[in-house]
Amino acid sequence: ADKNEALKNVLERRKAAVQQSRFKSTLHKLGHNRMAECHDLAVELSKTTCGPDDKSRNPCGRTGLKGKGILSNWGANLSCDPVITRVDPSVSGKTQVLVCMSAGSLGVWSLPGGILPSEPPPHA
């Protein structure tokens, strides 16, 4: 079962890399030869507090939630989702989204991108 899960993860990563490559190729064909400026995001970890069990606590107080839930990381779960839009002059300036992708086996549409890798919190 663990081997199947590991293989599934590898295949999903490869599929994401192929989709990203196709996305960049499409941008190039459309005449966009550079990606928009990206800025490093910094998360202030100095506000991280720990309880008696040495687990990270929400610095804003109790929320009633336990654990990390369905999120992929403890702490900040930063995401990068590029959105390419255009204004359609034929429909009185209505904004259109140009890039979407099918989100795997869920059968729903989503923006390309995903969760960024993160450092573990100081007391994880």
pLDDT (tens digit per residue) in 35-52: 443 444 444 444 456 666
Q: Is the pLDDT of residue 22 over 50?
A: yes
pLDDT (tens digit per residue) in 77-114: 677 777 777 777 777 767 776 677 666 666 677 777 77
Mean pLDDT for the chain? 65
Max distance between CA atoms of the chain, in angstroms, equals 62
Residue with tokens 């459309």: 30
Q: Which residue has the higher pLDDT, 123 or 76?
A: 76
CA 71 to chain centre: 11
Q: Determine the pLDDT at residue 26.
A: 59
